[in-house]
Amino acid sequence: MATYADPLALVDTEWVAQHLQDPKVRIVEVDYDPGSAYHLGHIPGAILFDWRKDLNDPVRRDILSREAFEALNSRAGIANDTTVVLYGDFRNWFAAFAFWIYKLYGHQDVRLLNGGRKKWIEEKRPLSEEVPAYPPATYQAREPDARLRAHLPYVLNVLGKRGVAMVDVRSPAEFSGEITAPPEYPNEAAQRGGHIPGAVNIPWSKALNDDDTFKDPDSLRQIYEAAGITPDKEIITYCRIGERSSVTWFVLRHLLGYPNVRNYDGSWSEWGNTIGVPIER
Amino acid sequence: MAQIVRTVDLRAGIELCTDSPIGRVQQALTGLGPGEAVEVWVKGYADEFTVTAWARRNGYTVLEVLHEQEETRIVLGVASGPTP
């Protein structure tokens, strides 16, 4: 059976269990809602990154700055040579987003826990409510790797071009424009529903098994190639706020080894609210 | 015995981004009075843990946890005293 293109990008629960005391490993839980996750019990020794507070700019709609990323890691006791293992709530959505940020800023060894928080708990592995503290570390980030990210002007510029394919990873109801966001999240709604012209709809969850682990490489390849998402193209993934699309970005780039994949984190909450951009339904 | 006044079914996967299962449980528990209960259906131990741990941490009482093969029925009520 084929192996993942970047097998070190994933660790399983047993590996994490064996490395709970490893000083070169830092386990990080990345949650959208820590009150329903981390604070109820987390992997022993794991620190918390609150996605909204820690990974986003506090004022602008943007990811955290390079300086803020350095400070975040420094406080967490993460050095440039630390193995960072990410997992979290909402089926690893926000952990995948954090993985993408780590790669954006050039961190070498970052891994995703296959199956996330859910699998750890399903296996009835130990949980702790203790919040650990680690000695601060020195951390230096690189300039963000622009090849991994797409902004709106870039997407507009490549729209319809040969050799570029867009993957809309949202639900079919979002893709068609029937809905733009659940009513509980009005700040993520858009003025218009639909999708970016030419995008194909491959919901992010198609890449996962029922236990939230990733499917095997052959199955993944079939899913994406059947829809024309092939490694010879430049691929842009998007969703609503960029975190489900991070999962697909991770799959294409790190599990299947596609060389040219960008995450458009502005996603539909930006596109669907922008005056004048084309929309398809 | 507490009377079930609302039911939350979390057994189906939630596709929509950022729709929190606990959010729906929390909504169902709002305004719950003494003698009333909310019934929550989940699938798998992870969701059972999350719902019961969250409920206890937020001042609710776990009145019942009943396993039916892969599914679990959880009944939540208010602790004695004002509703949180």
Task: Check which CATH number belongs to the domain holding A12 and give it.
Answer: 3.40.250.10
Report the residue of A32, A40, A97 to disrupt the B interface, i.e. the one with the largest count of B CBs within 10 Å: A40
Domain boundary among A90, A116, A143: A143
Would A278 be classed as within a structural domain? no
Domains of chain B, each with CATH number or no CATH: 3-78 (3.30.110.40)
B52, pLDDT greater than 80? yes
Amino acid B18: pLDDT: 45
A256 Ramachandran zone, left/alpha/beta (phi>0; psi -120 to 50): alpha
CB atoms within 10 A of CB A50: 16
**Residues A121 and A183 placed together within one structural domain of the fold:** no
Domain boundary among A123, A143, A163: A143
A156 Ramachandran zone, left/alpha/beta (phi>0; psi -120 to 50): alpha
Q: Do A181 and B15 touch (CB under 8 A)?
A: no
Smallest CA–CA distance from B14 into chain A, residue: A90
CB atoms within 10 A of CB A29: 26
Would A276 be classed as within a structural domain? no
Report how many domains make up chain A: 2
**Residues A60 and A78 placed together within one structural domain of the fold:** yes
Active site residue A239: yes
User: Is B41 an interface residue toward A (CB < 8 Å)?
Assistant: no
Backbone phi, then psi, for B23, in 5-degree steps?
-55, -40
Q: In this predicted complex, what is the ipTM?
A: 0.88
| Residue B12's pLDDT band (cuts 50, 70, 90) | confident
Model confidence over A209-228: pLDDT tens digits? 999 999 999 999 999 999 99
pTM of the prediction? 0.95
Would A1 be classed as within a structural domain? no
B15, pLDDT greater than 60? no
Q: CA-to-CA distance for A262 and A152, rounded, in angstroms?
A: 12
Would A202 be classed as within a structural domain? yes
Domain boundary among A110, A143, A176: A143
- The one catalytic residue in A190, A239, A255, A261 is A239
Would A279 be classed as within a structural domain? no
Question: Which residues make Cβ contacts (< 8 Å) with residue A135, sequence separation at least 6?
Answer: A77
Which of B23, B49, B57 faces A184 most closely, judged by CB atoms?
Answer: B23
Q: Do B46 and A118 touch (CB under 8 A)?
A: yes
Q: CA-to-CA distance for A178 and B6, rounded, in angstroms?
A: 28
**Residues A53 and A160 placed together within one structural domain of the fold:** no
* Host domain of residue A169: 147-271
Q: Do B20 and A182 touch (CB under 8 A)?
A: no
Q: Do A124 and B45 touch (CB under 8 A)?
A: yes
**Residues A43 and A131 placed together within one structural domain of the fold:** yes
Sequential DSSP letters for A232-256: TSEEEEE-SSSSHHHHHHHIIIIIS
**Residues A198 and A109 placed together within one structural domain of the fold:** no
Helix axes B21-29, B45-57, angle to 10 degrees: 40
Please give the single-letter amino acid code of residue A216.
D
Backbone phi, then psi, for A246, in 5-degree steps?
-65, -35
Report the residue of A30, A92, A121, A210 to disrupt the B interface, i.e. the one with the largest count of B CBs within 10 Å: A121
**Residues A220 and A167 placed together within one structural domain of the fold:** yes
3-class secondary-structure state, position A131:
coil
Smallest CA–CA distance from B18 into chain A, residue: A90
Amino acid B17: pLDDT: 44
Question: Six-digit token pair at A28?
Answer: 């990080």
**Residues A156 and A112 placed together within one structural domain of the fold:** no
Question: Six-digit token pair at A72?
Answer: 């975040």
